[in-house]
A and B are shown apart, each in its own frame.
Chain A
């Protein structure tokens, strides 16, 4: 004889009340879990999704390693330290730093060296090439904007404020090509930074000033041609996925 008077609180469950057969509890749980586990994209991601007309592409963009907050802060610190140094010493550090910083950012944007799930990414409807393009453009654009701001803050002349944009394009293209070919972001950074250092030093040796690499307008076309070649390399490297048997 069960003790019914044990003061079971009103409404409390009774052990014999089992689920009715026509109620699908696993479907109910899936619906609950969908709401509980759901990720709500931030305003930046939503805007990017509308702009790019692809929520997947927007998500890929906001998860770019070199667009994470820590990276952006580091970039800002480096560039504005350079601006400060320029104000103190007169040497236009921003113009010299910006291409290298951007090249590093580009190498860490995307590719087999940085994406651990790269083979899976190659089978996606939003193709890995599109993701690469969007991320690279975003990183480049952000670095250009930050660099311009830092350059203006350092009071540099117009030629120096804008002059490094073209060399930056070349350095980024090289970094991306190297990273894609070698399947390694580190290689990309090394290639981009090393090439830029060499360019600056040889410019200094030839023209007498460290800023020659930036201000010499005769170099614009060669820089752009070089960038175009590197871009072609990237296109080629991402078209034929190299696999092993």
Chain B
């Protein structure tokens, strides 16, 4: 069983079975992440364009980098292209996403920013995990520390240290994600 770097190298050499293996490994989580931003039909189109881009551009991948991040970068770019082609109505933005955003903001950009955020939040751990829960209760639902501590049945100090770690992870993820997405 090849690792991801090996698979991408084989794809660059023209091996379509390696592309199939990459697809079965990575398409599920890419679909999940895109689905937060786009309706199902658009997710399918973006995934299709993403893996065709992988097929054509596999020799642009530098081994040792993380294949997953590289794939997400391609997917994000394809999503941006699709939203620009189809118009902002294609994005499945729930009302809350644009609330408070400046009216002049390009909804496509907002959608992609939300996608980046989803990706970054994924770095916090599984849903229901410690950092993720603290993030959700403290920052998304805007509860006070004492209430969060009571809900999670941990001391307030633990809540604060988990929040600190969550912010650090998010900062790293968003910084890295922006670098990845913006570098091409």
Contacts and interface: CB of A to CB of B under 8 A. Distances in A.
B57 interface: no
Interface string B144-173: 000000000000000000000100010011
> Which has the most chain B C-beta neighbours within 10 Å: A2, A16, A17?
A17
> Which has the most chain B C-beta neighbours within 10 Å: A12, A13, A16, A19?
A13
Contacts of B32: 17-20
The binding surface of chain B is classed by DSSP as helix
A4 B44 contact: no
B69 A9 contact: yes
Contacts of B180: 10-11
Contact of B31 (A2, A10, A16, A23): A23
Interface string B105-143: 000000000000001101111110111000000000000
Nearest to A27: B44
A36 interface: yes
A19 B31 contact: yes
A16 B68 contact: no
Contacts of A27: 44
The binding surface of chain A is classed by DSSP as loop
B23 A29 contact: yes
Interface in A23-38: 23-25, 27-29, 31-33, 35-37
B27 to A, nearest CB: 5
A32 B40 contact: no
A28 B28 contact: no
Given A4-B125, A18-B28, A18-B32, A10 B175 contact: yes
A8 B177 CA distance: 12
Interface string B77-93: 00000000000000000
A204 B149 CA distance: 113
A11 B68 CA distance: 7
Contact of A13 (B68, B174, B177): B68
B61 interface: no
Interface string A121-134: 00000000000000
B19 A10 contact: no
Contacts of A4: 123-125, 131, 165, 169
Interface in A125-171: none
Contacts of A8: 123
A19 B176 contact: no
Interface of A: 1-2, 4-5, 8-20, 22-25, 27-29, 31-33, 35-37
Given A10-B180, A31-B48, 9 more contacts: A2-B125, A10-B120, A11-B176, A13-B29, A16-B126, A23-B35, A23-B43, A23-B47, A32-B19
Give the 10 A-B CB pairs with smallest separation, nearest first: A10-B176, A19-B28, A17-B29, A11-B72, A9-B66, A11-B69, A12-B68, A13-B29, A22-B40, A17-B32
6 contacts: A11-B176, A12-B69, A19-B31, A20-B31, A28-B51, A36-B19
